[in-house]
């Protein structure tokens, strides 16, 4: 069903320069995807940090003036927990081991990407809600405007930010549209009636779980009409968490969404779900087995291994070109057939 690019991985950390002198790009991952000015574009998440010194762990945090403060702890300190490569936990407080920004790259063939030299390519976090960076951007094209939904990270929590642009040079930032703890937000590219819709993933600390919700809005800023539509499944490949990928794809059968699911071993796979064409709160069908799982070495070993994760794709007729992060370190591509995915998930209905 899935045909990976033979060139995978198509973007690695060696292809992307750090944004600051003396820093190291640790991961390039989880790109949004769109078309603009006759080219294919990806909006990468670039995770970086200062070069590490012997015996120390160091990482950046943006302060209130928009300047990076470098925090350092001794690796031998018993209060330090580095068991998760994505985090630095010290004396009961958790930080991120890297800070992320968004980086634009483009391509003439959808496979070989580069940073255009005459175009602003870096989008950084701003303000107190993005002091730990911005991550995992989805791009939706609605009425000629590109809307970016992305994860805002700070000591206040993890929420969903929104910005929009027409030309990819001038951006309007709308701020946080869904408060902590929330992420994995993607916008439907068409309205239903007079409402916009989005998928998102709020998370509680006690009751409930990491489930997918759908919400509606009159203006893309104020969201309500919340419905929980997709739960995790005990003992399945998506038992621990589920979250939306890129914008839902309109088909004759309904809205097709490629989503990620993970088990309690943090093995991330991709599946699909089909939402009713006239009611995105109603699930028609769902993958029984993953449509993409970490099978190749570059998907099984890396910064955080056994991960395939998508939040961007392009559609040409029956073909989905899926861009995804592998092992939280590199970017890959694959092609799928809309008809084959629909046939696979509908056979269980």
Residue 180: the pLDDT is 96
pLDDT at 188 over 80: yes
What per-residue confidence (pLDDT) applies to 153?
Answer: 97
**Is residue 205 over pLDDT 80?**
no
Residue-wise pLDDT tens digits, 121-137: 999 999 999 999 999 99
- Residue 64: predicted pLDDT: 80
CA angle, residues 285, 151, 239, in degrees to nearest 5: 40
pTM of the model: 0.96
In sequence order, the 6+-apart residues with CB closer than 8 A to the CB of 292 are 2, 269, 270, 308, 322, 324, 334
**Structure token pair of residue 47:** 């995770």
Q: How many helices (H) and strands (E) does the chain have?
A: 2, 27
Mean pLDDT, to the nearest integer, of 75-87? 94
208 pLDDT above the threshold of 90: no
* Whole-number pLDDT of residue 119: 84
Residue 248 in this model has a pLDDT that exceeds 80: yes
Q: Does pLDDT of 206 surpass 70? A: no
Closest listed residue to residue 208, CA positions, set 188, 226, 186, 185: 226
Mean pLDDT to the nearest integer, 48-75: 93
Nearest to 9 by CA among 297, 292, 269, 307: 297
Structure confidence at residue 227 as a pLDDT band (50, 70, 90): very high
- Average pLDDT rounded to a whole number, residues 304-320: 98
Question: What are the structural domains, with CATH classification, of the chain?
Answer: 2-346 (2.115.10.20)
| Mean pLDDT of the region 29-42 | 98
Q: What are phi and psi of 220, to 5 degrees?
A: 70, 0
Residue 137: phi and psi, rounded to 5, are: -85, 135
């Amino acid at each position: 069903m899935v045909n990976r690019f033979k060139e995978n991985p198509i973007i690695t950390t060696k292809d992307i320069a750090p944004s600051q002198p003396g820093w190291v790009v640790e991961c390039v991952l989880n790109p949004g995807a769109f078309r603009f000015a006759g080219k294919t574009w990806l909006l990468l998440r670039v995770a970086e940090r200062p070069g590490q010194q012997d015996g120390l762990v160091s990482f950046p945090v943006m302060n209130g003036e928009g300047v990076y403060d470098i925090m350092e702890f001794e690796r031998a300190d018993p209060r330090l927990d580095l068991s998760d490569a994505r985090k630095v936990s010290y004396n009961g407080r958790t930080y991120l081991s890297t800070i992320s920004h968004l980086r634009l790259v483009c391509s003439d063939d959808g496979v070989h990407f580069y940073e255009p030299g005459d175009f602003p390519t870096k989008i950084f976090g701003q303000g107190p809600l993005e002091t730990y960076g911005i991550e995992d951007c989805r791009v939706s094209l609605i009425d000629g405007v590109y809307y970016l939904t992305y994860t805002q990270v700070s000591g206040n929590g993890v929420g969903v930010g929104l910005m929009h642009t027409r030309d990819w040079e001038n951006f309007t930032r709308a701020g946080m549209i869904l408060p902590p703890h929330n992420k994995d937000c993607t916008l439907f590219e068409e309205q239903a009636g007079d409402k916009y819709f989005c998928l998102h993933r709020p998370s509680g600390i006690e009751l409930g779980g990491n489930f997918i919700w759908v919400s509606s809005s009159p203006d893309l800023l104020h969201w309500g009409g919340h419905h929980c539509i997709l739960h995790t499944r005990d003992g399945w490949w998506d038992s621990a968490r589920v979250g939306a990928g890129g914008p839902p794809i309109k088909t004759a059968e309904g809205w097709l969404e490629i989503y990620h699911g993970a088990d309690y071993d943090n093995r991330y796979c991709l599946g699909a779900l089909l939402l009713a064409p006239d009611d995105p709160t109603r699930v028609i069908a769902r993958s029984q087995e993953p449509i993409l799982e970490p099978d190749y070495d570059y998907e099984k070993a890396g910064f955080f291994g056994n991960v395939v994760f998508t939040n961007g794709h392009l559609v040409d007729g029956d073909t989905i070109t899926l861009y995804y992060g592998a092992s939280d370190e590199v970017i890959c591509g694959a092609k799928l057939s809309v008809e084959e995915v629909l046939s696979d998930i509908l056979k269980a209905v």
